[in-house]
Structure 1
Amino acid sequence: MSDLNLNIPHNLSSEEALTRIKKLLTNLREEHKDLIDGAQEQWEGNSGKFGFSVKGFDLGGVIDVNPSSVDINAKLPFAVSFFKGKIAQVITDKAKELLA
């Protein structure tokens, strides 16, 4: 397993950032429905756990929405870790777009 730890700053209220980040997960599921299976998320306050399978690889992690940033921490299977940089870039770009 490889760790993926992202910190994305924002200038929104925590409530607005949370609403938008929840849309990130929904959008990813819709845009990549041919690749993503078993997507699930569970929120408690400003913290959420997520999990899904991509082409047979299980991915999961935690999202914390803070007053000035969003932290995304996930575990990537070893085989997927070779694409860690690309995965991090796609998630960061999508999150920044939603939090702008």
Structure 2
Amino acid sequence: MPKLHLEIPHTLPQNEAQDRLERFAESLHGRFGDQAKDVTQSWTDNVLSFGFKTFGMRIDGKIGVEPDKLVVSGDLPIAAMMFKGKIESEIQQQLERLVRV
């Protein structure tokens, strides 16, 4: 499976970045509920584990909230390989907006 890895720097206090990420994850289901099915999310310390199914493909990953950056990692299905750049770009843009001061 192709790997997904992004690092998004931030200057927020770590707890503020985590709070924003939690609210953001909840809002995504409302915005993309018709495109994302079987959405799961859970927190372990400062790591958000997420998963969803879209266009028949399951995508799972984690977002770690570190003191100076968000670290996104996950696996993409082989069928999504041709969209990897677009997926990474969209995630990066959304998270950069999220941590903007």
For the aligned pair, the TM-score class normalised by the smaller chain equals over 0.9
C-alpha deviation, 1:55, in angstroms: 1.4
2:9 maps to 9
Percent of aligned pairs sharing the same letter? 32
For structure 1, list consecutive stretches of 5 or more residues without a partner in the other structure: none
Residue 30 (structure 1) shift: 1.7
Which AA in structure 2 matches 1:71?
V
SS at match of 1:94: helix
Return the letter of the residue paired with 2:43: W
1:80 alignment partner, SS class = helix
- Residues 65-80 of structure 1: matches in 2 within 5 Å? 65-80=65-80
Instruction: Provide the aligned length of Structure 1 versus Structure 2.
Output: 100
Instruction: State the 4+ residue runs in structure 1 displaced beyond 6 angstroms.
Output: none
Amino acid at match of 2:98: L
Query: Could you say what secondary structure the match of 2:78 adopts?
Result: coil
Cα distance in structure 1, aligned partners of 2:13 and 2:82: 35
1:25-70, Cα deviation, whole Å (9 max, x unpaired):
2232222111100101110110121111001100001111000000
TM-score, scaled relative to structure 2: 0.94
Q: CA deviation at 1:81?
A: 1.4
Write the letter of the residue equivalent to 2:93. Answer: D
Paired residues of 1:24 and 1:94 also in contact (CA < 8 A): no
Matching residue of 2:85: 85
RMSD over aligned Cα, in angstroms? 0.9
CA distance in 1, matches of 2:67, 2:50: 21
Paired with 2:84 and 2:24, the residues of 1 have a C-alpha distance of 19
Q: Does 1:37 align with 2:37?
A: yes
For residues 89 and 23 of structure 1, what CA distance do their matches in structure 2 show?
Answer: 21
What residue in structure 2 maps to residue 24 of structure 1? 24
